Amino acid sequence: MILILKNITRLLTPLGKSPIKGKDMNSLKIIDDAFLICENGTITHIGEMKDCPKFSVDSFEDSQIETIDCTGKTVVPSFVDSHTHLVFGGYRENEFMWRMSGMSYMDIMQKGGGIAKSVELTSEATEEELFKVAKQRVKDMIHQGIGAIEIKSGYGLDCDTELKQLRVINRLKSECDAEIVSTFMGAHSIPKNYKQKEKGSGEYIDFIIKEVLPIVQKEKLAEFVDIFCEKGVFSISESENLLSHAMELGFKTKIHADEIVTLGGAELAVKIGCTSADHLLHASEKGIKNLANSNTIATLLPLTAFCLKEQFANARKLIDSGAAVSIATDFNPGSCFSFSIPLLIALSVIKMNMTINEIITALTLNGACAIDRGETLGTLEVGKKANITILKYPSENFLAYHTGINIVEKTIINGKVIPAN
Ligand code: NIG
Ligand code: FE
């Protein structure tokens, strides 16, 4: 199967397989009047239209050739949503309204709402119910140009429900067009039955380490382990304990760091070598500096800050200091019931002062690296998977200028064209 994109008005891509750091995030390879060819799901040729090889249909007896005319369109690598919690039961729409009338995310959590509510609703749902809703969400995300998605567990908090969520994520992996990466986040909150005993004793973390992680490892249900490192949730030492055990078992790691208060999550991420540190609204000066001097990706989630009416992470400072920044949705039933890529881009430009080139780098190659897919995804280069997003307009600026509007015309995943619905 050969797919040819011809007469591409403008093609933009970062280059390489590693995260792009600091000011380099602003430099993309740009080809005006370009072509791109993929064979069997892999990019094989790319360049200026004048150099486009002519294919004779006769030389491909067994293959089909599909051509897409991209006159007036912009082509970029498919977006990567490197941080979601998209498998969950039920909704928490009342909490959104409570927050709007002044209650804080932590107030709601301490009153037994928040994550605990979704845990209840997720344990009541069957695997089939969770799968059906999640599959539709993945489809809707693909129509916004997304080709790969990380999904976390963490609405179980007991062994069976965590494993149920992970099985759903793994079924999505085999039944969805998008590439799915699974993260075990049993350490999302302290479950009700541990609350009395806990008080920073680390008992629940010990339970995860002894009882759940070995099963997740044995059944190969997750690639990453993540933890909500936050005041009143899991401490720095509990986070270090869990994530270093996870690394010993061969997992890669992520951390919800410095979201609500400055705790030192960014510093810990760098110290133990997490693939990414996420949120970072309240990362300290030292945390930002350490991230800039490391290979840990700073994943920013402005949709969450927006929905929580919180300050935005300091993207400018992170990038100007030299960090590799990615942006993602954090789609979840509580703090951010949105996977809107158009809104994510609008907030990144308008509120976090990122340039459009930095945003493309953050949403493609750096996102891919945040889920350890830099080798195969995130750029338009020969040898990479044909994960390509075609935009309806002739320049990348429309991503921000057409504010809050989905301008994706087609998403191509592994060479398969998925039209916008
Ligand atoms: O990334 N911060 C912790 N976890 C999610 C929120 C989960 C929820 O409220 O259900 C987040 O914002
Ligand atoms: Fe999250």
pLDDT of amino acid 56 = 60
pLDDT of amino acid 199 = 57
Kindly indicate the confidence band of residue 350, based on its pLDDT and cuts at 50, 70 and 90: very high
The more confidently predicted of residues 1 and 396 is: 396
Query: In the Cβ-directed half-sphere of 402, how many Cα atoms lie within 13 Å?
Result: 15
Ion ligand 2: residues, CB within 5 A, are 330
Of 50-54, 251-255, 282-286, 392-396, the range with the lowest mean pLDDT is 50-54
- Give the residue whose CA is nearest to atom 6 of ligand 1: 335
Q: Which atom of ligand 1 is nearest to the CA of 333?
A: 10
Kindly indicate the confidence band of residue 198, based on its pLDDT and cuts at 50, 70 and 90: low
pLDDT 10s digits, 80-106: 999 999 999 999 999 999 999 999 888
Distances (CA, A) of 420 to 266, 268, 307, 399: 38, 41, 27, 16
pLDDT at 357 over 80: yes
C-alpha of residue 279 to centroid of ligand 2, in Å:
8
- Give the residue whose CA is nearest to atom 12 of ligand 1: 335
Using CB atoms within 10 A of its CB, is residue 83 exposed (0-12), middle (13-18) or buried (19+)? buried
**7: alpha, beta or left, given left = phi > 0 and alpha = psi -120 to 50?**
left
- Extract the runs of DSSP E, i.e. beta strands, from 70-138: 74-77, 79-81
pLDDT of amino acid 113 = 84
pLDDT of amino acid 57 = 56
C-alpha of residue 31 to centroid of ligand 2, in Å:
36
- Extract the runs of DSSP E, i.e. beta strands, from 303-387: 325-327
Which ligand is closest in space to the CA of residue 260?
Answer: 1
pLDDT at 260 over 60: yes
**Segment 250-253 long-range contacts (CB within 8 Å, at least 24 positions apart):** 250/217, 251/184, 251/213, 251/217, 251/222, 251/223, 251/224, 251/225, 252/223, 252/224, 252/225, 252/372, 253/224, 253/225, 253/226
pLDDT at 311 over 90: yes
Kindly indicate the confidence band of residue 200, based on its pLDDT and cuts at 50, 70 and 90: low
Q: Which residues pair with 299 in a beta bridge?
A: 278, 326
**What is the model's pTM?**
0.96
Phi (first) and psi of residue 150, to 5 degrees: -90, 140
- CB of residue 335 inside a 6 A radius of ligand 1: yes
Kindly indicate the confidence band of residue 109, based on its pLDDT and cuts at 50, 70 and 90: confident
Task: Give me the mean pLDDT over the 373-388 stretch.
Answer: 98
- CB of residue 256 inside a 6 A radius of ligand 1: yes
The more confidently predicted of residues 134 and 65 is: 134
Query: In the Cβ-directed half-sphere of 100, how many Cα atoms lie within 13 Å?
Result: 6
Structure tokens at 372: 């350890």
- Strands 42-48, 388-391: parallel, antiparallel or unpaired by DSSP? unpaired
Percent share of the chain, pLDDT over 70: 96
Contact call for residues 70 and 3 (beta carbons, < 8 A) = no
- CB of residue 155 inside a 6 A radius of ligand 1: no
pLDDT 10s digits, 62-81: 568 999 999 999 999 999 99
- CB of residue 9 inside a 6 A radius of ligand 1: no
C-alpha of residue 332 to centroid of ligand 2, in Å:
7
Q: Which of 332, 338, 339 to mutate to test the pocket of ligand 1 (most atoms within 8 A of CB)?
A: 332
